[in-house]
Amino acid sequence: MMQRPTTRRRPGWQPGYSRDTRRWIVMVIVLIGSLVIYAVERWMRTPDAPVVGSALVVDGDTLVIDHIRIRLVGIDAPELDQNCTDAWGRDWPCGRQASAQLRSHVRSSTLTCRPQSLDQFGRTLAICTLPDGSDINAWMVAQGWAVSYGRGAPYGAEQAEAKSARRGIWAGSFMPPYEWRRQHPRGGD
């Protein structure tokens, strides 16, 4: 009977990955874990301080103040490319009109936006006010340029008022903005 040659193993040696490879794997796992913790803290935490300044209007429910993208919480305005139908059945650019109305309302005022949370796109969800303390989010819904949106329909009274007065998008018919987005995906926010 023939003897098998024996190989000498270093103490602590295990079959599989080399020691350097194992170190790299541990470093990558630690790095990924750190990035996950950072992302959770960054995207899921409630922002602290109010955002104050002049706003650039992006669309009927989104502003930018000092490079911070702010989504007006509790409302949903028609998308820029969205059309609505007027009382006579004609299409009109309600998304562009909602944006223009918000731009006109805030003009060059210094706004104060009180952050509530962040959305899945990293935008600050906030209630914004003019210097006189009037709620811009509520104004957009009351004027018929946005619908109350979210848990508990926070601007339900303003929406009912706009609907009964047939203001803005309520003057005719429209597809709810969230439904329009679902049917016209853009990939992003």
Q: 43-79 pLDDT, tens per residue?
A: 555 557 999 999 999 999 999 999 999 999 999 999 9
| CA distance linking residue 185 with residue 111, whole number of Å | 31
Look up residue 75 and give its amino acid.
I
User: Which token pair is 135?
Assistant: 């709620």
Q: Are residues 34 and 55 in the same domain?
A: no
Q: Are residues 56 and 110 in the same domain?
A: yes
Q: Are residues 56 and 42 in the same domain?
A: no
| CA distance linking residue 115 with residue 127, whole number of Å | 7
Residue position matching structure tokens 């018929």: 144
pTM for the whole structure: 0.74
Q: Are residues 105 and 38 in the same domain?
A: no
Q: What is the pLDDT of residues 94-104, one digit of tens each?
A: 999 999 999 99
Q: Which residues fall within 8 angstroms of residue 152, CB to CB, at 6 or more apart?
A: none
| Residue 173 CB neighbours (<10 A) | 11
Report residue 32: phi and psi, to 5°. -60, -45
Q: Which of 145, 132, 166, 134 is nearest to 62 (CA)?
A: 145
Question: Which domain covers residue 30, as residue numbers?
Answer: 17-46
